[in-house]
Chains A and B, each alone.
Chain A
C-alpha cells in the first residue's frame, strides 16, 4: 500500500532523565514534548495529532496530553498500551500522517522507573490470576525470566557464549563514553561484565537496560511541512510491525527467530534499500540479546552468527554496522525504544559529535522482541 504522504521526523526531545526524579508522568511528558517542539521550531498549534504509548499502570492518555500541551484540536489521536513500546506510537504517528488523518503528530513514550518491567511486581502477592497463574507460581515474574531462556536457547543452537553477549555490552558502553548524556560512561571490561551478578543465568545484570524516569517525544509531519521547519528532515523510508502466533513471550514457537524476523521481513519488502545501505543502527536493548537477535533478523550478519559478529567489533565505530551509538538503554536509561529513533535521527542530521558516524544517510531502528516487534528505516537526503 503506497503512502499518500512521505513522512518525516522533524523534532525530537527528552525530559529530565534519572532515578526517582520525583516528577509526575505528566511533567515528564510535557518536558519531552516542549523540547521536541523547540527542536522542530513549531508550537502546539502546529500539531493536530497525538500518539502515546504507555503501560496500563502508568497510563498517559492522548487527549489529556493534548490538553496538557495546549494543542487546541486533534484530528487524530491514539493512546495505546499493547505491543512493542515506543514503536507503537511511532507506527501510529507515521500511519496517521501518511494517510492524511492528521498532518503533524507528536509521538510520546513516558515511563516511570518503578514497575517499568511491564507491571508492578506484587512482592507480597499470594494469588496470580489470568495468564499470570501459569507463570508466577513457577517464579517467572519479569522480562528477565524469559530473557534468560532466549539466551540459553541461542547458546544451545549456535554455540553463542556469555562472552559474546558481553562483547555487545562493551561495544555500546564505548559509545556511551562518547555521549555526554549517557548515565554510564566508564569503560566496561569483560571481567566487569562476567562478574556482574546473574539475574536469570545466563543473563547478567549488565545485560539489562537501566530503569529510569524518562519521557521521549518525536514529531512526525508531511514532507511539505518538514521543509519549512527548523531541522533537516529525516524521512521514514519503510516501517513495519511483526507479531508471533503465540503472544506469551515464554511460549513463542522459536525463541531465536521471534517477532523481529517478521517485522524485518515486512520492512525490507517495503523498500528498495538493503542491509548493505544502512550505516547506523539503533536496536532495542531491553536485554543485550534482543539487539543481537535484531542484527540477525535485519540481515547484518548471518543467522545465528550475532555472537561472533559482535565479538569481531562489527557494531563498533568503523564496523559493518555501528549500533546503539548513544550507548543504548543499558547506558542512557530505559526510554522503551524511543532513544533509538531519536539517536538515529540525530545521526542522520549529523548532530552526534564524537560519536557521529561520518556521512550517515540511512539508519535503522527497532523495538522489542518475542511476541511483538517494530522497526523502521530512516533516511536523510
Chain B
C-alpha cells in the first residue's frame, strides 16, 4: 500500500529510520539531492536494485515534482 506524503509527514519519517530514494536519473541525483538519499533511477528499479533496501523499514521515494 503506497501512501502519498507531504513535507510534514516526510520530516517525521526521516526523523525515524525511513530510507530515502531519489528515482531521477543519476546525473540529476549527482547535481543535487536530499541529504541521505540514495539513487535508484526508475529505469533501473527492479528486484536486484531494490535489494539494497531494507523491506522491514519505511521507504520514501521522490523525483522532481511527482510527475
Q: Do A and B belong to a common assembly?
A: no
What is the interface of chain B, defined by CB distance below 8 A to chain A? none
